[in-house]
Amino acid sequence: MKPIRLLAGARKELDEIVEYYHAESEGQGFRFTAQIEKLIRNIQRFPLSYAAVSQRIRCASTESFPYNLFYSVLSDEILVISIAHQRRRPRRWDDPSPH
């Protein structure tokens, strides 16, 4: 299995979402984190099984929360580009480079 790396922006998005759910309801932040961890494990096991949204970017959805995880499968790793709410306007996913 390839290792997973979150871009700094994706890590920030994840932290903000978890913080929001922690404030919203006791235990929600932990449930969201558990779903993201499960989704990441599934992506590692089956990286090409999720929908391609562009030539290089794929999208996987959480089970119980309205979030998508956008990622790119590179030669030596899987790069998580963003974790985005499904109802908000996403930024462009065309460039998985870490800059």
**CATH number assigned to the domain covering 4-85:** 3.30.2310.20
Question: 79, 76, 81: which is closest to 92 by C-alpha?
Answer: 81
Q: What is the pTM of this model?
A: 0.87
Q: How far apart are CA 99 and CA 79, in angstroms?
A: 12
What would the mean pLDDT of 20-34 be, rounded to a whole number?
Answer: 95
Residue 81, φ and ψ in degrees, nearest 5:
-90, -40
The structural domains of the chain, with segments of one domain joined by +, span 4-85
Q: Tens of pLDDT along 60-84?
A: 999 999 999 999 999 999 999 999 9
